[in-house]
Structure 1
Amino acid sequence: MEIHQEVLRTFFGNFNNLNAIQKESIPVILDGNNIIISSSTGTGKTEAVLAPLISKYLDESLLNDRMTWLYITPTKALANDIYRRIHPLLSKLHLNVGIRHGDRDETRLVKKIHILITTPESLDVIMKRNDNSLNDIRALILDEVHILFNTQRGLQMSLIISRLKRHILDHDIQIACLSATIASCKDISSFLFGNSENFYEIVKHSHKMIDAFITIITSKEALLKLIEKIFTGPTKLLIFANSRIECDRLGSILWNSEKLRPHLFTHYSSLSTQMREKTEKDFNHAETAICIATSTLELGIDIGDIDAVILWGPPWTVNSFLQRIGRGNRRTKKTNAICLVSYESKNKYLDLLYFYAILDLAKEGIIEKIKPMKLFGALIQQILMIIATNQGAFTKTQEIINIANIHDHLSRENVEEILKSMSEANYIKPHGFKNRYGANDGLYRLLDLRLIYSNITISSRDVKIFEGKKEIGHISTKNLLNMHPGAIIRFAGRCWKVVKIENTKIQVKSNDFIKDPIEIQYSSKGKYISDTLILNRIYDYLSKMKINFDIIDKKVRTPFSNYINNLISIFSPSHIPLIRLDDNFCYLTFGGKLCNLVFCQVLGINELKIDQIGIVSKFPIDFSKLP
């Protein structure tokens, strides 16, 4: 089977314009195979799978005038971006593109949708409706699947697809997965599909040279001076911070510069959809701009060509580092990465060493290899959805088992144990004599409160922030305890004066910067845990590997070298190094934060501080007591 010539012209112009990934993937997909492609951002993965899938089922879709393709993204922002990118192309082929997520629903507006772009949660809602529009789905595209790997959302997506496949009984669904550079495609396909699917794998690692520079920023003034120095002429900079509060702090520092202020953007999850979309659009089209973002812009949202990526503090994984720097310099053979250790860091030279280790591993093409986790939590939510889809009626236990057992660990025994626990918690109830379960009061209450559609733990209720009629964003209601009319808050990298506070919203107006505004307290999504890959590399530097100081700022080379030599002098592979800090004991375990927490719990230690590298204690620790 050959690709439809009209599709080829629409996506690529002609065959000579195909890159290596596209040339390999197109015949594989046209032959009907499932595929997973792992490569860096901007390598044409979307076109590599979408063009042949459109070609394969185009005639059938136009003839039946039914929904034929599902395109699933992990975020609403990426769904919107994919819609903007493919809608003009597919309209040339007389195909209607629809979008469905928490902020947009075109499934009820567009009469005939041929390809639907959605998120896992929205697909779950459509499935609950028993929507017949899904009956003719032929192909499923899952974008940025590495985001879902080893998460409850990923298991949720896996079980939704299992339900979808059982909903469509008369034909198979062809599946294409797109991912950033990962260590193992097989691990991702195993996590999402268990033993139910086979995949052809295409892996293309980036061979772009990384031109990196690492330094320590000593003050706010030094940061401002450096950014102003870099920001000359038509320049686009993307600055990644590790948290929303750091985005706000960085924004407030750069806002003090008259040179930078007109070109400054922020982007993170607490901003309103309207604000985020405006930032993405304006930053994309700007020739001169700076955007400060969290991991929200690690995904493949189109933001144009970036001249340099600046990292404010080291990310926690090599994979995240590659995702971030991969957003820059797409049109050149070199990626510019500026790695900055914050003046607020409690151990600046350790953070600098952490940066160096990540960069060293990235240049060697070594990334984290994490085996699929055996998760259970999302199965509870999916059991509730299965029964709710059946209008609460008694549902065969075997029906639930058949959906779950694509994963070996979701065995009959485990599923039945979960069903029993859910029954004891009053969410569902067993049939008197048949092996079935139906809805109980707990499930009906979840439906009434619309809390059934997500497996994510519900955090405290949010309150929206408005400037006039324009929604700026949303924050946790716990922030209201620190606010009053007239208070100055920092949000979206700017200062705002609180005008009025109500139960569901806060009215603000723009305000000049002040020295100590009220900082927003964001709901934590969990502490990042470093992979042992990076910690092991740091361990190697202290035992045998040499450090190349050329990429480190000349101003900090000497003190950094002294720091490393001091660590080496106390280092021995046969025991845990100990440093005395004032009257405290600092043990360098290189175990990672989670492992160090376990050490302290098992040994009954009241630690002063725990981080990725070690433990600080008031008293000596006897590690020989570990079991």
Structure 2
Amino acid sequence: MNEAEIKKLLKRVYSAFFGSFGRLTPIQSALIPPLMQGKNAVGVSPAASGKTEAALAPIAERILTIGRQPLSILYVAPTRALINDIEKRIREPLSSVGLSLSVRTGDRPELRTIRPENVLITTPESLDSLLCRYPRIWKDTRAVILDEIHLLDNTYRGDQLRIVLRRFEKWHTEKAIQYCALSATISQPADMAGRYFESPTVVRAGAMREVSVHLFPDMEGVIQFLRQNKYHKALIFCNSRKNVEELALSLKSFWPPDRILVHHGSLSRKERESVEEAMRTWQWGLCICTMTMELGIDIGNIDAVVLYGPPPTPSAFIQRVGRGGRRGNEMLAIGCYRNDPDERAQFEVYSRMAKKGVVEEVEYTADISVCVQQVFSLLYGRPGGLRWDDMRDILSPLCETDTFEAILVHLADLGFVEESLGRYRATTK
């Protein structure tokens, strides 16, 4: 389908979402048609390729055609920083087509429960809480978008989201739900998306840029390289908050201290937004960060990406490198292997995989501990109690019957749940 045909399909929203851009990106051209057909889909493309608009624009068009209602669209993203950035990008286009927007996270608790907004952006944890506290406000929801799902999948949070979505569809909605997952480059998108919803259509678009990798044993060499090549503005990724804080302190010997920023999930919302705004407006400076900056947060143009130690996976390597350092069709990656030959070897493996467009295949393993947390969430949301079969059905993707029964018996023995007349309830313990 060409761009003119897509423009006709999106007659209500095209101008709002894409009018300021010269043309659609590859993922937008590829993902919009199946979503307009009402299909469930998973869109896979590199960072900064316009995946959010690729999903939201056609779903908004369909909602406007059907008739907008409270909470018509549910948008789930993994981090508060990403949610704040998404809000800035989509609030105006949504408003211009008559769709209202609300955000619900740990540091932004606003949500009208009487006539809620048309679109809600939230995290998996906040959605879990909302289902418990406000079980009856979701009857008109028609679409769920799962952003950066690869960061959640095969983790505790991903398994929590699996069960929360299962509860959502079985107990809280009255309409058929259309799903769209968005992901960076991964090896098995159909399997991944299939853990969250049925019959995903896989849509891949956007080629990986060439990767140019430069490795250094220490950060002094990295800083010299940045200066020699006039790379004035850089992201420096670390694998832990501790590394971020320690590196920020040590870099003050090589870089003006007032031009060194830190960004991680433990900062307050105000602190994170201040860092993001500084990076958008500064012409030069360093931002030392954890995976919070892997996502599509708007921080302006970045000259280079530095990896302080190899990331945990090849896909994380690609995601981080994709955040900046673009020179034409090439991505620049600078690795610091901290005088460790094993880290240097790991960087070289990641580099070869990235140049071939290869990402790791990870075997999925359910986190059974999620079942314990979800038993409490289920019973909190249903003070009148639940039957054994109802809970077993909801939790079936994560644990076998014998395991579920053992969990309930153990919680009962500890005095956290009790059974009466065939229904289980949470105690006040």
TM-score by length of 2: 0.92
| Residue 403 of structure 1: aligned partner | 394
| Residue 167 of structure 2: aligned partner | 163
Tell me how far 1:181 sits from its aligned partner.
0.9
Query: What letter is aligned with 1:371?
Result: E
Give the share of equivalent positions with the same residue, in percent.
Answer: 33
The change in CA–CA distance for 1:88 and 1:248 in structure 2 (over 3 A counts) is same
C-alpha contact (below 8 Å) 2:101/2:120 kept by paired residues:
yes
1:48-197 aligned within 5 A: 48-62=54-68, 65-108=69-112, 112-168=116-172, 170-193=174-197, 197=198
Tell me how far 1:270 sits from its aligned partner.
2.6
Q: Secondary structure at the match of 2:261?
A: strand
CA distance in 2, matches of 1:77, 1:201: 27
CA distance in 2, matches of 1:357, 1:424: 50
The change in CA–CA distance for 1:246 and 1:104 in structure 2 (over 3 A counts) is same
Q: Does 1:375 align with 2:374?
A: no
Query: What letter is aligned with 1:180?
Result: A
Structure of higher CA gyration radius:
1
Query: What letter is aligned with 2:395?
Result: A
**For structure 1, which runs of at least 5 residues remain unmatched after alignment?**
443-627
The change in CA–CA distance for 1:222 and 1:210 in structure 2 (over 3 A counts) is closer
Q: Does 1:30 align with 2:36?
A: yes
Q: Does 1:8 align with 2:14?
A: yes
Aligned with residue 295 of structure 1, among 287, 291, 294: 291
| Residue 240 of structure 2: aligned partner | 243
C-alpha contact (below 8 Å) 1:35/1:200 kept by paired residues:
yes
| Residue 613 of structure 1: aligned partner | none
C-alpha contact (below 8 Å) 1:309/1:336 kept by paired residues:
yes
Tell me how far 1:223 sits from its aligned partner.
5.1
Query: What letter is aligned with 2:415?
Result: N
Q: Does 1:427 align with 2:426?
A: no
Deviation per CA, 1:1-23: give whole Å up to 9, x if none. Answer: 96331301111129972222212
**For structure 2, which runs of at least 5 residues remain unmatched after alignment?**
1-5
Query: What letter is aligned with 1:95?
Result: L
Tell me how far 1:230 sits from its aligned partner.
4.3
C-alpha contact (below 8 Å) 1:187/1:372 kept by paired residues:
no
1:251-290 aligned within 5 A: 251-257=248-254, 260-290=256-286
| Residue 439 of structure 1: aligned partner | 426
The change in CA–CA distance for 1:223 and 1:328 in structure 2 (over 3 A counts) is closer
1:509-548 aligned within 5 A: none
1:211-610 aligned within 5 A: 211-217=212-218, 222=221, 224-231=223-230, 235-257=232-254, 260-329=256-325, 332-342=328-338, 345=339, 348-391=340-383, 393-405=384-396, 407=397, 410-431=399-420, 434-442=421-429
CA distance in 2, matches of 1:380, 1:60: 39
| Residue 3 of structure 2: aligned partner | none
CA distance in 2, matches of 1:91, 1:276: 25
CA distance in 2, matches of 1:430, 1:109: 32
Structure 1 vs Structure 2 CA RMSD: 2.3
Deviation per CA, 1:196-239: give whole Å up to 9, x if none. Answer: x110001236331111112222xx6555544443456xx32111
Tell me how far 1:51 sits from its aligned partner.
0.5
Tell me how far 1:424 sits from its aligned partner.
1.5
Query: What letter is aligned with 2:166?
Result: S
C-alpha contact (below 8 Å) 1:61/1:114 kept by paired residues:
no
C-alpha contact (below 8 Å) 1:387/1:395 kept by paired residues:
yes
Tell me how far 1:104 sits from its aligned partner.
0.6
CA distance in 2, matches of 1:47, 1:331: 25
Query: What letter is aligned with 2:261?
Result: F
Tell me how far 1:48 sits from its aligned partner.
0.8
| Residue 206 of structure 1: aligned partner | 207
Q: Does 1:20 align with 2:20?
A: no
The change in CA–CA distance for 1:67 and 1:331 in structure 2 (over 3 A counts) is farther
C-alpha contact (below 8 Å) 2:139/2:172 kept by paired residues:
yes
CA distance in 2, matches of 1:15, 1:31: 24
Tell me how far 1:298 sits from its aligned partner.
1.0
CA distance in 1, matches of 2:130, 2:56: 22
The change in CA–CA distance for 1:160 and 1:331 in structure 2 (over 3 A counts) is farther
C-alpha contact (below 8 Å) 2:325/2:333 kept by paired residues:
no
Bigger relative contact order, structure 1 or 2 (CA pairs below 8 A, ≥6 apart): 2
Query: What letter is aligned with 1:265?
Result: L
Q: Secondary structure at the match of 2:409?
A: helix
Query: What letter is aligned with 2:53?
Result: E
Query: What letter is aligned with 1:49?
Result: A
Query: What letter is aligned with 1:322?
Result: I
TM-score by length of 1: 0.64
